[in-house]
Structure 1
Amino acid sequence: MANSHTLGSFTVSLSDSEASFAEGVIELLENENYDISGDAPADIDLSTWEFAQQLAEQLGDEYEDHEVRFSCEAKEDAKTHYILLSHSNCESINFDGAVIFTQMLLERFNIDKPVMAECAFTCEKARPGEFGGGAAFITKSGIKWHGTAVWLRDALNDYEQEKSGKPKQITLTEHAQLDVTLFDEESEVNSIKAQITYSPVAGIAISVDGYTDTTNTEGGEVIIADYFGGNFDVRVYGDNTIAEPTHHITFEEAKIRK
Protein backbone atom coordinates (compact mmCIF):
# COMPACT_ATOMS: atom_id res chain seq x y z
CA MET A 1 0.00 0.00 0.00
CA ALA A 2 1.45 3.36 -1.03
CA ASN A 3 1.61 6.14 1.52
CA SER A 4 0.90 9.80 0.79
CA HIS A 5 2.91 12.48 2.58
CA THR A 6 2.86 16.23 3.11
CA LEU A 7 6.33 17.74 3.33
CA GLY A 8 7.27 21.29 4.16
CA SER A 9 9.41 23.67 6.15
CA PHE A 10 9.36 27.39 6.87
CA THR A 11 10.85 29.82 9.35
CA VAL A 12 9.40 32.42 11.69
CA SER A 13 11.65 35.26 12.88
CA LEU A 14 11.37 35.70 16.64
CA SER A 15 13.46 37.06 19.47
CA ASP A 16 15.56 34.66 21.54
CA SER A 17 12.96 34.50 24.33
CA GLU A 18 10.05 34.19 21.88
CA ALA A 19 11.74 31.33 20.04
CA SER A 20 12.41 29.57 23.35
CA PHE A 21 8.77 30.04 24.33
CA ALA A 22 7.56 28.54 21.03
CA GLU A 23 9.88 25.55 21.32
CA GLY A 24 8.80 25.05 24.93
CA VAL A 25 5.11 24.96 23.97
CA ILE A 26 5.66 22.11 21.51
CA GLU A 27 7.89 20.22 23.93
CA LEU A 28 5.16 20.52 26.56
CA LEU A 29 2.45 19.19 24.24
CA GLU A 30 4.62 16.23 23.28
CA ASN A 31 5.62 15.38 26.86
CA GLU A 32 3.74 12.22 27.88
CA ASN A 33 4.10 13.13 31.55
CA TYR A 34 1.58 15.95 31.25
CA ASP A 35 -2.15 16.00 30.55
CA ILE A 36 -2.65 19.30 28.77
CA SER A 37 -6.40 19.23 29.39
CA GLY A 38 -5.88 19.55 33.16
CA ASP A 39 -4.57 22.25 35.45
CA ALA A 40 -1.02 23.54 35.12
CA PRO A 41 1.52 21.66 37.27
CA ALA A 42 3.51 23.71 39.75
CA ASP A 43 6.74 23.27 37.77
CA ILE A 44 5.32 24.66 34.50
CA ASP A 45 5.04 28.34 33.61
CA LEU A 46 1.33 29.21 33.58
CA SER A 47 1.44 31.31 30.39
CA THR A 48 3.19 28.49 28.51
CA TRP A 49 0.66 25.98 29.79
CA GLU A 50 -2.34 28.12 28.81
CA PHE A 51 -0.91 28.79 25.34
CA ALA A 52 -0.32 25.05 24.87
CA GLN A 53 -3.92 24.37 25.92
CA GLN A 54 -5.20 26.87 23.36
CA LEU A 55 -3.06 25.33 20.64
CA ALA A 56 -4.24 21.81 21.50
CA GLU A 57 -7.83 23.04 21.24
CA GLN A 58 -7.11 24.58 17.82
CA LEU A 59 -5.44 21.38 16.58
CA GLY A 60 -8.47 19.31 17.61
CA ASP A 61 -8.36 15.70 16.43
CA GLU A 62 -5.01 16.34 14.75
CA TYR A 63 -3.45 16.36 18.22
CA GLU A 64 -3.50 12.92 19.79
CA ASP A 65 -1.10 10.66 21.63
CA HIS A 66 1.00 13.73 22.50
CA GLU A 67 1.88 14.31 18.82
CA VAL A 68 1.47 17.66 17.06
CA ARG A 69 2.99 16.20 13.87
CA PHE A 70 5.34 19.06 13.14
CA SER A 71 8.70 19.90 14.61
CA CYS A 72 9.65 23.26 16.10
CA GLU A 73 13.33 24.04 16.49
CA ALA A 74 14.70 27.26 17.93
CA LYS A 75 17.65 28.43 15.84
CA GLU A 76 19.84 31.46 15.32
CA ASP A 77 22.31 32.82 12.82
CA ALA A 78 24.59 35.84 12.78
CA LYS A 79 21.66 38.25 12.44
CA THR A 80 18.51 36.83 14.01
CA HIS A 81 16.75 34.25 16.10
CA TYR A 82 13.97 32.19 14.58
CA ILE A 83 12.12 28.90 14.70
CA LEU A 84 12.12 26.27 11.97
CA LEU A 85 8.79 24.51 11.52
CA SER A 86 9.06 21.39 9.38
CA HIS A 87 8.25 17.72 8.79
CA SER A 88 11.52 16.74 10.48
CA ASN A 89 11.01 13.60 12.62
CA CYS A 90 7.54 13.20 11.07
CA GLU A 91 6.45 11.14 8.08
CA SER A 92 4.05 13.93 7.15
CA ILE A 93 3.77 17.46 8.48
CA ASN A 94 0.51 18.73 9.97
CA PHE A 95 0.80 21.82 7.79
CA ASP A 96 -2.49 23.34 8.94
CA GLY A 97 -1.42 22.93 12.55
CA ALA A 98 1.99 24.50 11.96
CA VAL A 99 0.33 27.47 10.25
CA ILE A 100 -2.21 27.92 13.05
CA PHE A 101 0.60 27.76 15.62
CA THR A 102 2.49 30.45 13.68
CA GLN A 103 -0.53 32.76 13.56
CA MET A 104 -1.02 32.36 17.31
CA LEU A 105 2.62 33.32 17.92
CA LEU A 106 2.41 36.40 15.69
CA GLU A 107 -0.73 37.50 17.52
CA ARG A 108 0.72 36.82 20.98
CA PHE A 109 3.94 38.76 20.37
CA ASN A 110 2.26 41.46 18.23
CA ILE A 111 4.54 40.78 15.25
CA ASP A 112 3.63 42.77 12.13
CA LYS A 113 5.89 40.94 9.67
CA PRO A 114 3.94 38.30 7.70
CA VAL A 115 5.10 34.71 7.30
CA MET A 116 4.86 32.80 4.02
CA ALA A 117 4.67 29.02 4.22
CA GLU A 118 4.53 26.30 1.57
CA CYS A 119 4.09 22.54 1.57
CA ALA A 120 4.30 19.74 -0.99
CA PHE A 121 1.97 16.76 -1.39
CA THR A 122 3.63 13.58 -2.60
CA CYS A 123 3.03 9.85 -2.83
CA GLU A 124 5.26 6.79 -2.95
CA LYS A 125 3.51 5.64 -6.13
CA ALA A 126 2.57 7.55 -9.28
CA ARG A 127 -1.04 7.85 -8.20
CA PRO A 128 -2.97 10.69 -9.95
CA GLY A 129 -4.45 13.27 -7.59
CA GLU A 130 -1.88 12.62 -4.85
CA PHE A 131 0.55 15.35 -5.90
CA GLY A 132 0.34 19.09 -5.51
CA GLY A 133 1.04 21.72 -2.92
CA GLY A 134 -0.33 24.33 -0.61
CA ALA A 135 0.57 27.75 0.72
CA ALA A 136 -0.42 30.07 3.54
CA PHE A 137 0.08 33.80 4.03
CA ILE A 138 0.11 34.32 7.78
CA THR A 139 -0.31 37.56 9.73
CA LYS A 140 -1.15 38.33 13.32
CA SER A 141 -4.73 39.03 12.26
CA GLY A 142 -5.40 35.96 10.15
CA ILE A 143 -4.45 33.37 7.55
CA LYS A 144 -4.97 33.26 3.79
CA TRP A 145 -4.84 29.77 2.30
CA HIS A 146 -4.18 28.60 -1.25
CA GLY A 147 -3.62 25.21 -2.86
CA THR A 148 -3.03 23.72 -6.28
CA ALA A 149 -6.26 21.71 -6.08
CA VAL A 150 -8.27 24.90 -5.44
CA TRP A 151 -6.50 26.68 -8.30
CA LEU A 152 -7.30 23.85 -10.71
CA ARG A 153 -10.92 23.76 -9.56
CA ASP A 154 -11.27 27.53 -10.11
CA ALA A 155 -9.64 27.23 -13.53
CA LEU A 156 -12.11 24.49 -14.47
CA ASN A 157 -15.03 26.59 -13.25
CA ASP A 158 -13.79 29.56 -15.31
CA TYR A 159 -13.50 27.34 -18.38
CA GLU A 160 -16.97 25.85 -17.97
CA GLN A 161 -18.54 29.26 -17.32
CA GLU A 162 -16.89 30.74 -20.40
CA LYS A 163 -18.20 27.89 -22.55
CA SER A 164 -21.70 28.21 -21.10
CA GLY A 165 -21.89 31.96 -21.80
CA LYS A 166 -23.26 32.58 -18.32
CA PRO A 167 -22.06 35.47 -16.11
CA LYS A 168 -18.78 34.83 -14.40
CA GLN A 169 -18.94 34.81 -10.63
CA ILE A 170 -16.18 36.73 -8.91
CA THR A 171 -15.25 36.51 -5.24
CA LEU A 172 -13.55 39.60 -3.84
CA THR A 173 -11.31 39.27 -0.82
CA GLU A 174 -10.44 42.06 1.58
CA HIS A 175 -8.92 45.09 -0.16
CA ALA A 176 -9.07 43.30 -3.53
CA GLN A 177 -9.15 45.30 -6.73
CA LEU A 178 -10.38 43.83 -10.00
CA ASP A 179 -10.33 45.36 -13.49
CA VAL A 180 -13.17 44.03 -15.63
CA THR A 181 -15.06 44.71 -18.85
CA LEU A 182 -18.83 44.73 -18.53
CA PHE A 183 -20.78 43.54 -21.57
CA ASP A 184 -24.48 44.38 -21.79
CA GLU A 185 -25.84 43.22 -25.13
CA GLU A 186 -29.20 44.91 -24.56
CA SER A 187 -27.59 48.31 -24.23
CA GLU A 188 -26.56 50.66 -27.03
CA VAL A 189 -23.12 50.69 -25.44
CA ASN A 190 -21.63 47.25 -26.06
CA SER A 191 -19.02 47.32 -23.33
CA ILE A 192 -17.53 49.56 -20.69
CA LYS A 193 -14.48 49.24 -18.51
CA ALA A 194 -14.97 48.99 -14.77
CA GLN A 195 -12.93 48.64 -11.63
CA ILE A 196 -14.36 46.83 -8.63
CA THR A 197 -12.88 47.24 -5.16
CA TYR A 198 -13.83 45.91 -1.77
CA SER A 199 -12.93 46.77 1.78
CA PRO A 200 -14.58 45.71 5.04
CA VAL A 201 -15.06 49.39 5.93
CA ALA A 202 -16.21 50.96 2.68
CA GLY A 203 -17.87 47.86 1.27
CA ILE A 204 -18.03 47.25 -2.48
CA ALA A 205 -17.44 50.13 -4.91
CA ILE A 206 -17.44 50.27 -8.68
CA SER A 207 -15.97 52.90 -10.96
CA VAL A 208 -17.01 52.73 -14.62
CA ASP A 209 -15.03 54.35 -17.46
CA GLY A 210 -14.73 58.06 -16.61
CA TYR A 211 -17.66 57.86 -14.25
CA THR A 212 -17.32 57.53 -10.52
CA ASP A 213 -19.73 57.33 -7.61
CA THR A 214 -19.73 61.12 -7.32
CA THR A 215 -20.72 63.88 -9.73
CA ASN A 216 -18.03 64.76 -12.25
CA THR A 217 -17.68 67.62 -14.75
CA GLU A 218 -17.48 65.29 -17.74
CA GLY A 219 -21.17 64.58 -17.49
CA GLY A 220 -21.68 61.33 -15.69
CA GLU A 221 -22.66 59.82 -12.39
CA VAL A 222 -22.75 56.20 -11.33
CA ILE A 223 -25.28 55.09 -8.78
CA ILE A 224 -24.37 51.82 -7.11
CA ALA A 225 -27.33 49.98 -5.66
CA ASP A 226 -26.96 47.51 -2.83
CA TYR A 227 -24.99 44.34 -3.29
CA PHE A 228 -27.58 41.64 -2.84
CA GLY A 229 -27.83 37.94 -3.53
CA GLY A 230 -24.41 37.91 -5.14
CA ASN A 231 -25.44 40.49 -7.77
CA PHE A 232 -24.46 44.08 -8.51
CA ASP A 233 -26.78 46.68 -9.98
CA VAL A 234 -24.99 49.56 -11.75
CA ARG A 235 -26.83 52.55 -13.22
CA VAL A 236 -24.91 55.23 -15.14
CA TYR A 237 -26.52 58.67 -15.46
CA GLY A 238 -24.93 60.76 -18.20
CA ASP A 239 -26.42 64.11 -17.24
CA ASN A 240 -25.74 64.18 -13.51
CA THR A 241 -29.39 63.66 -12.73
CA ILE A 242 -31.35 60.67 -11.55
CA ALA A 243 -33.88 60.78 -14.36
CA GLU A 244 -33.26 57.96 -16.83
CA PRO A 245 -30.00 56.03 -16.80
CA THR A 246 -27.92 56.09 -19.96
CA HIS A 247 -26.53 52.69 -19.09
CA HIS A 248 -27.96 50.01 -16.81
CA ILE A 249 -26.04 46.82 -16.03
CA THR A 250 -26.82 44.01 -13.66
CA PHE A 251 -24.32 41.24 -13.16
CA GLU A 252 -27.11 38.76 -13.85
CA GLU A 253 -27.32 40.04 -17.43
CA ALA A 254 -23.74 41.11 -18.03
CA LYS A 255 -20.82 38.91 -18.89
CA ILE A 256 -17.85 39.69 -16.68
CA ARG A 257 -14.36 39.18 -18.05
CA LYS A 258 -11.07 39.80 -16.33
Structure 2
Amino acid sequence: MANNYIHAAFAVTVTASEAELIAAAETALDAIEEDLQGEGRREAYDALGSAFADAFPPISDDPFSGFMPIFPDKDFPCLDATITIEDGQDHTTRVVTFSGDQFGIEQVANLLFACAKSALPIGFEYAYTCDKLRADEFGGGAVIITADGVEYHSTHTIVREALSEESLPKCTRLILTIRDPEHGLLFWNTDTGFGDLASATLFTEQEAADFDVPIAFDEPEWLACPAGVP
Protein backbone atom coordinates (compact mmCIF):
# COMPACT_ATOMS: atom_id res chain seq x y z
CA MET A 1 0.00 0.00 0.00
CA ALA A 2 1.38 3.38 -0.99
CA ASN A 3 0.07 6.90 -1.41
CA ASN A 4 0.79 9.05 -4.43
CA TYR A 5 0.77 12.83 -4.47
CA ILE A 6 0.83 15.63 -6.99
CA HIS A 7 2.50 18.63 -5.35
CA ALA A 8 2.49 22.16 -6.71
CA ALA A 9 2.86 25.67 -5.34
CA PHE A 10 3.21 28.84 -7.37
CA ALA A 11 2.01 32.44 -7.53
CA VAL A 12 0.68 34.53 -10.40
CA THR A 13 0.29 38.31 -10.50
CA VAL A 14 -2.98 39.33 -12.14
CA THR A 15 -5.18 42.39 -12.32
CA ALA A 16 -7.61 43.11 -9.51
CA SER A 17 -10.58 42.26 -11.75
CA GLU A 18 -9.00 38.95 -12.78
CA ALA A 19 -8.45 38.07 -9.12
CA GLU A 20 -12.14 38.76 -8.51
CA LEU A 21 -12.98 36.46 -11.40
CA ILE A 22 -10.87 33.66 -9.90
CA ALA A 23 -12.63 34.18 -6.55
CA ALA A 24 -15.96 34.05 -8.35
CA ALA A 25 -14.98 30.67 -9.81
CA GLU A 26 -14.52 29.34 -6.28
CA THR A 27 -17.91 30.73 -5.30
CA ALA A 28 -19.44 29.08 -8.36
CA LEU A 29 -18.19 25.71 -7.14
CA ASP A 30 -19.96 26.26 -3.84
CA ALA A 31 -23.21 26.97 -5.69
CA ILE A 32 -22.76 23.90 -7.88
CA GLU A 33 -22.08 21.71 -4.84
CA GLU A 34 -25.36 22.89 -3.31
CA ASP A 35 -27.01 21.39 -6.39
CA LEU A 36 -29.38 24.33 -6.77
CA GLN A 37 -31.98 23.93 -9.48
CA GLY A 38 -34.24 26.16 -11.53
CA GLU A 39 -34.49 29.79 -10.57
CA GLY A 40 -32.17 29.36 -7.59
CA ARG A 41 -29.40 28.09 -9.85
CA ARG A 42 -29.89 30.99 -12.27
CA GLU A 43 -29.81 33.50 -9.41
CA ALA A 44 -26.56 31.98 -8.07
CA TYR A 45 -25.02 32.29 -11.54
CA ASP A 46 -26.18 35.89 -12.02
CA ALA A 47 -24.83 36.84 -8.59
CA LEU A 48 -21.30 36.05 -9.81
CA GLY A 49 -21.37 39.12 -12.01
CA SER A 50 -21.01 40.04 -15.65
CA ALA A 51 -17.28 39.24 -15.80
CA PHE A 52 -17.98 35.63 -14.86
CA ALA A 53 -20.79 35.46 -17.42
CA ASP A 54 -18.43 36.82 -20.11
CA ALA A 55 -15.72 34.30 -19.22
CA PHE A 56 -18.07 31.32 -18.90
CA PRO A 57 -21.22 31.92 -20.96
CA PRO A 58 -23.77 29.07 -20.83
CA ILE A 59 -23.65 26.53 -23.64
CA SER A 60 -26.88 24.80 -22.63
CA ASP A 61 -29.92 25.42 -20.42
CA ASP A 62 -27.74 25.04 -17.33
CA PRO A 63 -26.28 28.50 -16.57
CA PHE A 64 -23.04 26.86 -15.31
CA SER A 65 -22.61 24.72 -18.44
CA GLY A 66 -19.92 27.02 -19.84
CA PHE A 67 -17.93 26.74 -16.62
CA MET A 68 -17.97 22.95 -16.33
CA PRO A 69 -15.60 22.16 -19.27
CA ILE A 70 -12.59 23.43 -17.32
CA PHE A 71 -12.81 20.29 -15.17
CA PRO A 72 -11.45 16.95 -16.44
CA ASP A 73 -14.33 15.16 -14.67
CA LYS A 74 -17.52 17.18 -15.07
CA ASP A 75 -19.31 14.93 -12.59
CA PHE A 76 -16.90 15.99 -9.83
CA PRO A 77 -16.02 19.66 -10.42
CA CYS A 78 -13.25 20.63 -8.05
CA LEU A 79 -10.16 22.81 -8.39
CA ASP A 80 -8.12 20.55 -6.07
CA ALA A 81 -6.01 23.51 -5.01
CA THR A 82 -5.82 25.97 -2.15
CA ILE A 83 -6.10 29.51 -3.53
CA THR A 84 -5.05 32.62 -1.67
CA ILE A 85 -5.32 36.17 -2.99
CA GLU A 86 -3.17 39.00 -1.67
CA ASP A 87 -2.53 42.60 -2.64
CA GLY A 88 0.03 43.20 -5.35
CA GLN A 89 2.65 45.91 -5.57
CA ASP A 90 -0.05 48.49 -6.28
CA HIS A 91 -3.82 48.77 -6.04
CA THR A 92 -4.35 47.49 -9.59
CA THR A 93 -2.78 44.05 -9.11
CA ARG A 94 -3.23 40.99 -6.94
CA VAL A 95 -0.98 38.00 -6.26
CA VAL A 96 -2.85 34.70 -6.51
CA THR A 97 -1.16 31.65 -5.00
CA PHE A 98 -2.13 28.09 -5.90
CA SER A 99 -0.92 25.12 -3.84
CA GLY A 100 -1.87 21.58 -2.97
CA ASP A 101 -0.78 18.01 -2.26
CA GLN A 102 -3.26 16.51 -4.72
CA PHE A 103 -3.08 19.35 -7.16
CA GLY A 104 -5.64 19.79 -9.94
CA ILE A 105 -3.22 20.41 -12.79
CA GLU A 106 -5.68 20.54 -15.69
CA GLN A 107 -8.46 22.50 -14.01
CA VAL A 108 -6.09 25.11 -12.59
CA ALA A 109 -4.44 25.51 -15.99
CA ASN A 110 -7.84 25.94 -17.64
CA LEU A 111 -8.92 28.42 -14.98
CA LEU A 112 -5.81 30.54 -15.52
CA PHE A 113 -6.27 30.43 -19.29
CA ALA A 114 -9.83 31.72 -18.89
CA CYS A 115 -9.31 34.20 -16.05
CA ALA A 116 -5.72 35.50 -16.13
CA LYS A 117 -5.31 36.88 -19.65
CA SER A 118 -3.08 39.76 -18.52
CA ALA A 119 -0.52 37.33 -17.07
CA LEU A 120 -0.08 35.22 -20.20
CA PRO A 121 2.21 33.61 -21.09
CA ILE A 122 2.72 31.86 -17.77
CA GLY A 123 3.73 28.42 -16.61
CA PHE A 124 3.93 26.31 -13.50
CA GLU A 125 5.64 23.12 -12.42
CA TYR A 126 4.44 20.15 -10.40
CA ALA A 127 5.95 17.08 -8.76
CA TYR A 128 4.54 13.56 -8.74
CA THR A 129 5.72 11.68 -5.65
CA CYS A 130 5.07 8.59 -3.56
CA ASP A 131 5.44 7.95 0.18
CA LYS A 132 7.30 4.72 -0.61
CA LEU A 133 10.50 4.46 -2.65
CA ARG A 134 9.00 2.43 -5.46
CA ALA A 135 10.29 2.33 -9.01
CA ASP A 136 8.58 4.59 -11.56
CA GLU A 137 6.49 6.38 -8.93
CA PHE A 138 8.34 9.70 -9.17
CA GLY A 139 8.25 12.39 -11.80
CA GLY A 140 6.64 15.67 -12.58
CA GLY A 141 6.13 18.16 -15.31
CA ALA A 142 5.26 21.66 -16.33
CA VAL A 143 2.30 23.47 -17.83
CA ILE A 144 2.73 26.32 -20.29
CA ILE A 145 -0.25 28.63 -20.79
CA THR A 146 -0.28 31.08 -23.68
CA ALA A 147 -2.94 33.03 -25.54
CA ASP A 148 -3.14 30.07 -27.93
CA GLY A 149 -3.96 27.49 -25.28
CA VAL A 150 -2.48 25.12 -22.71
CA GLU A 151 0.46 22.75 -23.24
CA TYR A 152 1.46 19.93 -20.89
CA HIS A 153 5.02 18.62 -20.55
CA SER A 154 5.96 15.65 -18.35
CA THR A 155 9.32 14.34 -17.22
CA HIS A 156 8.29 10.96 -18.63
CA THR A 157 8.01 12.50 -22.10
CA ILE A 158 11.29 14.39 -21.68
CA VAL A 159 13.14 11.17 -20.78
CA ARG A 160 11.50 9.18 -23.58
CA GLU A 161 12.34 11.79 -26.21
CA ALA A 162 15.89 12.22 -24.92
CA LEU A 163 16.44 8.47 -25.27
CA SER A 164 14.83 8.21 -28.68
CA GLU A 165 17.00 7.22 -31.62
CA GLU A 166 16.57 10.66 -33.20
CA SER A 167 17.79 12.47 -30.07
CA LEU A 168 20.78 10.33 -29.12
CA PRO A 169 24.17 11.53 -30.34
CA LYS A 170 25.15 9.75 -33.51
CA CYS A 171 28.37 7.70 -33.48
CA THR A 172 30.26 8.80 -36.59
CA ARG A 173 31.69 5.92 -38.61
CA LEU A 174 34.64 6.52 -40.92
CA ILE A 175 36.01 4.69 -43.96
CA LEU A 176 39.48 4.95 -45.45
CA THR A 177 39.58 5.76 -49.15
CA ILE A 178 41.96 6.28 -52.03
CA ARG A 179 41.21 7.50 -55.55
CA ASP A 180 42.10 5.08 -58.32
CA PRO A 181 42.55 6.60 -61.82
CA GLU A 182 40.67 3.72 -63.41
CA HIS A 183 38.11 2.62 -60.80
CA GLY A 184 37.49 5.84 -58.88
CA LEU A 185 37.20 5.63 -55.10
CA LEU A 186 38.37 2.45 -53.41
CA PHE A 187 37.64 1.62 -49.77
CA TRP A 188 39.86 -0.10 -47.24
CA ASN A 189 39.05 -3.54 -45.86
CA THR A 190 41.36 -4.78 -43.11
CA ASP A 191 41.35 -8.32 -44.56
CA THR A 192 41.50 -7.75 -48.32
CA GLY A 193 42.87 -4.25 -48.78
CA PHE A 194 41.24 -1.58 -50.95
CA GLY A 195 38.06 -2.60 -52.76
CA ASP A 196 34.38 -1.74 -53.15
CA LEU A 197 32.26 0.20 -50.66
CA ALA A 198 30.15 -2.80 -49.64
CA SER A 199 33.20 -4.53 -48.12
CA ALA A 200 34.70 -1.44 -46.45
CA THR A 201 35.74 -1.66 -42.80
CA LEU A 202 34.03 0.89 -40.58
CA PHE A 203 36.09 2.75 -37.97
CA THR A 204 35.11 4.85 -35.01
CA GLU A 205 36.80 8.22 -34.72
CA GLN A 206 39.15 6.83 -32.05
CA GLU A 207 39.93 3.74 -34.11
CA ALA A 208 40.73 5.93 -37.11
CA ALA A 209 43.06 8.08 -35.01
CA ASP A 210 44.96 4.99 -33.82
CA PHE A 211 45.04 3.21 -37.18
CA ASP A 212 48.34 2.79 -39.03
CA VAL A 213 47.32 4.02 -42.49
CA PRO A 214 48.74 1.80 -45.26
CA ILE A 215 51.04 3.18 -47.93
CA ALA A 216 49.32 3.39 -51.32
CA PHE A 217 49.78 5.02 -54.73
CA ASP A 218 47.34 7.73 -53.61
CA GLU A 219 47.21 9.53 -50.26
CA PRO A 220 44.49 7.73 -48.21
CA GLU A 221 41.73 9.93 -46.78
CA TRP A 222 39.12 9.37 -44.10
CA LEU A 223 35.52 9.93 -45.10
CA ALA A 224 32.31 9.77 -43.06
CA CYS A 225 30.43 6.61 -43.87
CA PRO A 226 27.52 7.29 -46.26
CA ALA A 227 24.01 6.82 -44.86
CA GLY A 228 22.62 3.35 -45.43
CA VAL A 229 25.91 1.47 -45.19
CA PRO A 230 25.55 -1.15 -42.40
Instruction: State how 1:62-77 maps to structure 2 within 5 Å.
Output: 64=76, 66-77=77-88
- Normalised TM-score (structure 1): 0.52
Distance of 1:35 and 1:60 partners within structure 2: 22
1:102 aligns with 2:102: no
Question: Which of the pair has more CA radius of gyration?
Answer: 2
Q: What is the aligned-residue identity percentage?
A: 25
For residue 66 of structure 2, what is the aligned residue in structure 1?
54
Q: Which moves more between the two structures, 75-84 or 127-136?
A: 75-84
- The one-letter code of the counterpart of 2:43 is P
Instruction: Tell me the number of residue pairs that the alignment of Structure 1 and Structure 2 aligns.
Output: 162
For residue 43 of structure 2, what is the aligned residue in structure 1?
41
Higher helix share: 2
Name the SS for the 1:54 alignment partner.
coil
Q: 1:58 to 1:21 in 2, by over 3 A?
A: closer
Distance of 1:37 and 1:56 partners within structure 2: 17
CA contact 1:37–1:53 (8 Å) conserved in 2: no
* Structure 1 residue ranges without an equivalent (≥5): 166-187, 189-252
Instruction: State how 1:1-258 maps to structure 2 within 5 Å.
Output: 1-31=1-31, 32-35=33-36, 40-41=42-43, 44-45=47-48, 47=50, 48=52, 51=56, 53-61=65-73, 64=76, 66-79=77-90, 80-87=93-100, 91-106=101-116, 110-111=117-118, 113-158=120-165
Name the SS for the 2:71 alignment partner.
helix
Shift of 1:140: 2.2
CA contact 1:12–1:102 (8 Å) conserved in 2: no
- The one-letter code of the counterpart of 2:105 is F
What do the CA deviations read for 1:104-155 (whole angstroms, capped 9, x no partner)? Answer: 123xxx4264112010110010111111111012112212321110011112
Shift of 1:30: 3.4
Name the SS for the 1:60 alignment partner.
coil
For residue 244 of structure 1, what is the aligned residue in structure 2?
none
Q: 1:15 to 1:162 in 2, by over 3 A?
A: closer
- The one-letter code of the counterpart of 1:102 is L
CA contact 2:84–2:96 (8 Å) conserved in 1: yes
Q: CA RMSD in A?
A: 3.5
* Structure 2 residue ranges without an equivalent (≥5): 57-63, 173-184, 186-225
CA contact 1:111–1:140 (8 Å) conserved in 2: no
